[in-house]
Structure 1
Amino acid sequence: MMAMANFYGGWLLGALLLGFAAGWIAVVQRGEGLSRNAAMGLGGVAAVLVGLSLARIVPGRAGYWLDLFLVMMAAYLVGCAIGSWLRYRVVARQMKGR
């Protein structure tokens, strides 16, 4: 895993920054989100992918790409969470000052 982080460090940072930008914008957008069934389906797919990665069932290059996808998706989601939280804090602070 550390070799992956060293080799793809720039790409992981890019995923984090892209997630930060998307999270910053998403607070302003306020979309309706996913339905309960769609969220359960995506959660199930994510659980299966993480299970496949942890059990090392997918061999070779496909397993490597699966691990890389999961790490980059995690970096993106962390960036989204940080960006939306920070934007919320900035907007909340500005609303208190008025």
Structure 2
Amino acid sequence: MGVPVVPDHQFKVPVIRRSEYTVFLEQATRDHTFIHCLVHVPWTKGVFGRLTQDLGSLRDLHGGPIYALHPPEDRKHFKFLNRMGFKYAASYKDKKGRPMEIYSI
């Protein structure tokens, strides 16, 4: 991936809208798309299955790769990324000097 590209804006477009969750994409550069997900209900096996299926369809339509930002101290988010199939891609420090990681699918 080379030098990580970090988005410097917050223009997120909802691309999957479900009562259980909303998935947003953010185009940082021509070649770098970041994903964001808000889960609106308690996490269950059913929610996981539907989100996994929707993310698979989104990835197929998008063509990938799709990147996710991750603060290393957030263990719950790390577990979520792993369950969704994201793999570590790079590390960097954000504008405030905090360590961040980038994962991709």
Task: Provide the TM-score with structure 1 as the length reference.
Answer: 0.26
Structure number with the higher strand fraction is 2
Structure with bigger helix share is: 1
Higher relative contact order (CA 8 A, sep 6+): 1
| TM-score normalized with structure 2 length | 0.25
